[in-house]
A and B are shown apart, each in its own frame.
Chain A
Amino acid sequence: MPPSPPPSEAVYNRPNYLTADRGVWSWLVTLDHKRIGVMYLVLTTIGFALGGLFALIIRLELLTPGPTIIDAQTYNRMFTLHGVVMIFLFMIPAIPGIFGNFLLPLMLGAQDVAFPRINLLTVYLYLLGAGIALWGMIHGGADTGWTFYTPYSTTTTTKVAPILLGAFILGLGSILTGINFIVTIHTLRAPGLTWMRLPLFVWAIYATSVIQVLATPVLGMTLLLVAIESVFGFGIFDPGRGGDPVLFQHLFWFYSHPAVYIMILPAMAVVSEVVQAFARKNMFGYKAVAYSSLGIAFVGFFTWGHHLFTSGQSAFNAGIFGILSMFVGLFTAIKVFNWTATLYKGAIQFSAPFVYFCGFLFFLVFGGMTGIALATVSLDVHWQDTYFVVAHFHFIMVGGTIMAFLAAVHYWWPKMFGRMYSERWALVAAGLIILGFNATFIPQFLLGNMGMPRRYYSFPERFWPLNVASTAGASLLAFGFLIVLVYLVVSLAWGRVAGPNPWDSRGYEWDTPSPPNKENFPGTPVITHGPHEYQDTEDGGAGSEVTHAA
């Protein structure tokens, strides 16, 4: 065996997708799904930082009952922009855009996604939408809340229109990504890769894409109607002209509730992969987990009215939506039981991705149960528009999706960049993040239950201590994220060379070099077994068997 070359050369001596073409222009016109995934990583990280900045301003303002650092008008803008940026610039695009793009073709044995040029287009749509929204933010930004409820959104003179237009364009990118992934999964599976051999990551991304395709157009139309209304005043939501403002809420939440499943399903996709890799065991109940993704996608469309419980919706509808909202929890429960059962008698590797999975599991379950509680109309009447709801969705979105996002980043970092990060710092950061998360959001459940309304600039003194605790937690959380960013960036230049499969994972994507070549596979792979089959190897775990047809 020849002596191993120095680390930098080992990674970059052969042309991989990062080094094959040089220059900024090659990145700007790339059709390589792997490069597009990396671009999404950079862009969504910036989006996350921006949304996080708004969050910190909110938390700083809430350090004292009265004015602290900003005035009330600015506060309204801050929570609006925090929501808009976090949801449209991070939560919805991140995991599909980064890991969906990077991994789908590798997991399917394909050379690229079905429509590579449309894939590149979505990156530019992201930039365009984000740019227009940013322009609006710089010129004051909207103060309507990210939910843009009428009649305020149609009569305010703040810069709602650019935010709406930005969101519209970002939504178009989301739709195109969804279409691309669905077609890729249907048509570009390698020979031998039947639906029942697909990695569970693919199943959940497929379900996410279905939601993106069906739900986002309704949001687009609704935002367009708000824009038209605020400019022309046609009265489509104005009772004075026969309109119903609650119609806006129906149309808005018809998208926005499935949107939260767009945000959590990719996280569940990641978790399914991480659980199998770090317990070194096949998923317990593969079919149940696969089908439950579709269940979430479809049944999630039947629940939007739980956002309208206190808006004047009929009691009849409230009853229907309440029951269906509880029903949709069943599918998540199925996944949680199966993930846990997979751990049983597994050979658990307690490194950073697994730590994040543990956080994910506890926070998803806790947050999910508060969701079921909120689905009870008689309880929601008290909790609606309080910090209880805020804590609930942050438990799912931060405690769920962002934990899974971090697990994904750590699990696939060596695959994408060929480097390992510092495990010690990773565990420190994970601990800080989990601690900081608890400190930030558990007080908010208590505050909400005590009656503190959301989106309020000031609060009575009895809420003061818990708000201080929450802000302290948010600072810890931010610090933890910062540490992650630092050691990951450092690892790009100084990290240990990872080798093709540092986790010894049996996922299909680990059969390629790390980082992968520009061309994914020399020929067409033929898949002869399912993903993550740890129990049946005679070769002592050298890797999954994938033969390559010329």
Chain B
Amino acid sequence: MQPETQAVHLAHHFPSLRTQEQAARLGMWLFLATEVLLFGALFTAYSLYRYLFPHAFEGASALMHTSWGTANTLVLITSSLTVALGIHEVSRGRNRRATLYLLATLAFAVAFLVIKYFEYSHHIHEGQLPGRFYSFAELQVAGASMFFTLYFLMTGLHGLHVLIGMGVLAFLTVQVWRGRYGPGYYTPVELGGLYWHLVDLIWIFLFPLLYLI
């Protein structure tokens, strides 16, 4: 990218592009902090109820498909790799390769959601549902339904963030493909990557807490 096109991206109220990008990055991190606190409320509920119902949670966690959970963990970790590589390629001006990496990230995201779909279907079929919908006969102790309430709420909110992340990444992929970003300016891709890594981070904690009790 030539300096002239960089000037296209510089907003009038910023003294330099560098300042603008630092501001964008700080702003994104502040937003990620709000997401941490948002999920933090659910992690709080989880911590409390796991403390109150340790055996019920253990029993309910045994009903989870740990292999699928592990697969999903590997899927998201790899998607973080591909998005990081994609951003790296944009910073080097190799937008074709970057587009492929970003598409790979989207593919992994789809895979994640597909696996989740199968998991949800299974739980619904077995009656392992939140609260008053819980009807799984083999585990009828206090706290069992609470596990599934938290499971569906936490993975549901996480899944919503996966969807939003996919939307953001899809938009950025198109822009990268069109050559809108390059070595002189690729901040939006970087910010989109940060959001995607957060999605991965949340799952890194959800996985052991839900599947590996």
Residues of A at the B interface (CB closer than 8 Å) are 105, 110-116, 175, 178-180, 182-183, 186-188, 213-218, 220-222, 225, 228, 232-236, 238, 241-244, 247, 250-251, 254, 524
CA distance A179 to B153 in the complex (A): 27
Binds A, one of B18-26, B100-108, B111-119, B176-184: B18-26
B130 & A232 in contact (Cβ 8 Å cutoff) = yes
Query: Looking at the complex, which one of B34, B41, B53 makes contact with A222 (CB distance below 8 Å)?
Result: B41
A112 & B13 in contact (Cβ 8 Å cutoff) = yes
- Chain B's interface: helix, strand, loop or mixed, by majority? helix
Q: Which A residues lie within 8 Å of B31 (CB)?
A: 179
Query: Looking at the complex, which one of B37, B44, B45, B49 makes contact with A214 (CB distance below 8 Å)?
Result: B37
A235 & B41 in contact (Cβ 8 Å cutoff) = no
The answer to whether A221 and B38 touch (CB under 8 A), given A182-B30, A242-B53, is: yes
Top 3 A-B pairs, shortest CB-CB distance: A234-B131, A235-B131, A221-B41
Least CB distance, B24 to chain A, in whole angstroms: 8
A234 & B27 in contact (Cβ 8 Å cutoff) = no
Q: Please, which residue of chain B has its CB at the minimum distance from the CB of A252?
A: B41
User: B51-65 vs A: 1/0 string, CB under 8 Å?
Assistant: 011001000000000
* Chain B interface residue number, banded: 35 or more
B34 & A183 in contact (Cβ 8 Å cutoff) = no
A182 & B26 in contact (Cβ 8 Å cutoff) = yes
Q: Which A residues lie within 8 Å of B38 (CB)?
A: 217-218, 220-221
Q: What would be 27 A-B contacts, judged by CB atoms less than 8 Å apart?
A: A116-B11, A116-B13, A178-B30, A179-B27, A179-B30, A183-B27, A186-B23, A187-B14, A187-B22, A187-B23, A187-B26, A188-B23, A213-B33, A214-B33, A215-B37, A216-B34, A218-B40, A232-B130, A235-B145, A241-B131, A242-B56, A242-B142, A242-B145, A247-B44, A247-B45, A250-B44, A251-B45
Tell me if B69 counts as interface (CB < 8 A to partner A): no
A228 & B30 in contact (Cβ 8 Å cutoff) = no
B37 & A247 in contact (Cβ 8 Å cutoff) = no
Tell me if B172 counts as interface (CB < 8 A to partner A): no
A251 & B41 in contact (Cβ 8 Å cutoff) = yes
Least CB distance, A62 to chain B, in whole angstroms: 36
Tell me if B8 counts as interface (CB < 8 A to partner A): no
Q: Which A residues lie within 8 Å of B153 (CB)?
A: 225, 228, 234, 236
Q: Which B residues lie within 8 Å of A111 (CB)?
A: 12-13
What is the count of residue pairs linking A and B with beta-carbon distances less than 8 angstroms?
115
The answer to whether A217 and B35 touch (CB under 8 A), given A179-B30, A251-B41, is: yes
Least CB distance, A68 to chain B, in whole angstroms: 41
The answer to whether A242 and B12 touch (CB under 8 A), given A182-B26, A218-B38, A236-B146, is: no
B52 & A242 in contact (Cβ 8 Å cutoff) = yes
Query: Looking at the complex, which one of B11, B15, B23, B27 makes contact with A524 (CB distance below 8 Å)?
Result: B15
Q: Which A residues lie within 8 Å of B45 (CB)?
A: 225, 236, 247, 251
Q: Which B residues lie within 8 Å of A215 (CB)?
A: 37
Query: Looking at the complex, which one of B42, B49, B150 makes contact with A221 (CB distance below 8 Å)?
Result: B42
Q: Please, which residue of chain A has its CB at the minimum distance from the CB of B41?
A: A221
B33 & A243 in contact (Cβ 8 Å cutoff) = no
Q: Please, which residue of chain A has its CB at the minimum distance from the CB of B53?
A: A242
Q: Which A residues lie within 8 Å of B42 (CB)?
A: 221
Query: Looking at the complex, which one of A110, A220, A236 makes contact with B149 (CB distance below 8 Å)?
Result: A236
Q: Please, which residue of chain A has its CB at the minimum distance from the CB of B22?
A: A187
CA distance A533 to B166 in the complex (A): 53
Least CB distance, B48 to chain A, in whole angstroms: 6
Least CB distance, A392 to chain B, in whole angstroms: 27
Tell me if B132 counts as interface (CB < 8 A to partner A): yes
A188 & B30 in contact (Cβ 8 Å cutoff) = no
Q: Please, which residue of chain B has its CB at the minimum distance from the CB of A214?
A: B37
Query: Looking at the complex, which one of A186, A217, A222, A242 makes contact with B49 (CB distance below 8 Å)?
Result: A242
A233 & B132 in contact (Cβ 8 Å cutoff) = yes
B149 & A234 in contact (Cβ 8 Å cutoff) = yes
Tell me if B193 counts as interface (CB < 8 A to partner A): no
Q: Which B residues lie within 8 Å of A241 (CB)?
A: 131-132, 145-146, 149
B48 & A247 in contact (Cβ 8 Å cutoff) = yes
Tell me if B143 counts as interface (CB < 8 A to partner A): yes
Interface centre among B12, B13, B15 (most CB of A within 10 A): B13
A243 & B146 in contact (Cβ 8 Å cutoff) = yes
Least CB distance, A490 to chain B, in whole angstroms: 35
Q: Which A residues lie within 8 Å of B52 (CB)?
A: 242, 244
Q: Which B residues lie within 8 Å of A214 (CB)?
A: 33-34, 37
Q: Which B residues lie within 8 Å of A242 (CB)?
A: 49, 52-53, 56, 142-143, 145-146
User: B136-171 vs A: 1/0 string, CB under 8 Å?
Assistant: 000000110110011001000000000000000000
